Amino acid sequence: MKYNGLSQKISLITGAGQGIGQAVAKRLAEEGAIIAAVDANEEQLQSTVQQMKDEGIRAFAYPGDITDQASVQHIVDQIEKQLGSIYLLVNVAGILRISSIDQLSADDWQQTFAVNTHGVFYVSQAVSKYMMKRSEGVIVTVSSNAGAIPRMNMAAYAASKAAATSFTKTLGLELAAYGIRCNVVSPGSTATPMQWALWPDEQGENQVIKGSLETYKTGIPLQKIADPQNIADAVIFFASEQSSHITMQNLTIDGGATLGI
């Protein structure tokens, strides 16, 4: 399916070096968007951007730390000056720290919020100020189904994603008067390096699909984990004119793992 309104649009994607961010960047490129790829891992970012350039895609790398507000503002200003008006922002960058609450360090808690919540705020604020002047733009935040349901040993991650989801909806309310739409995509278990790192062995995927009574985690009714492309397709829909009357919504893509919550 071809989506409308994305051709030649400047699209800023955080966490674009790998996983869902990389899939989103490549999917947007298929729709003719111009890619401004941001990631803290410069090596991965440059590799991803070079791959896209080799395929004839207009893609540009902007290495940077989204937990640093000054750095974020500098990157956004650079993109506006060098490429043009940012039409689309996709907040994908995120980290995961696993620990029971009694063992969770203050550093892990703070780092998780620094990326997953503060980073979303810094980038969204910097970009939306430009969008407001033009009364045009779209923001999509990739959150998590963990933001809507308790997950054992994921307190920092779940809380930070819940905050990012709520923030994005409030942002959508404030920006609606400018014609700017803000939506959320919440993946469940997805085939990315973050997910693979959680698997103790080659049976990890089957265990995720099956679920765990001990940790009060349901399995996945569709009997498969998501592909990053599944998430990218949802982002494209929210970014396109096909969803021109949709804002402040949260689309969960988890194969039914959270039972429609």
Which residues, 6+ apart, have CB-to-CB distance to 213 below 8 Å? none
Residue 96 DSSP class: -
Which tokens belong to 68?
Answer: 């640093």
Which tokens belong to 77?
Answer: 């200003």
Q: Is there a contact between 69 and 125 (Cβ–Cβ < 8 Å)?
A: no
Q: Catalytic annotation on 157? A: yes
Residue with tokens 């969204």, as numbered in its chain: 124
State the Rg of the chain over Cα: 18
Residue 58 DSSP class: -
Q: Which of 3, 87, 122, 157 is catalytic?
A: 157
Residue 227 DSSP class: P
Question: Active-site positions?
Answer: 157
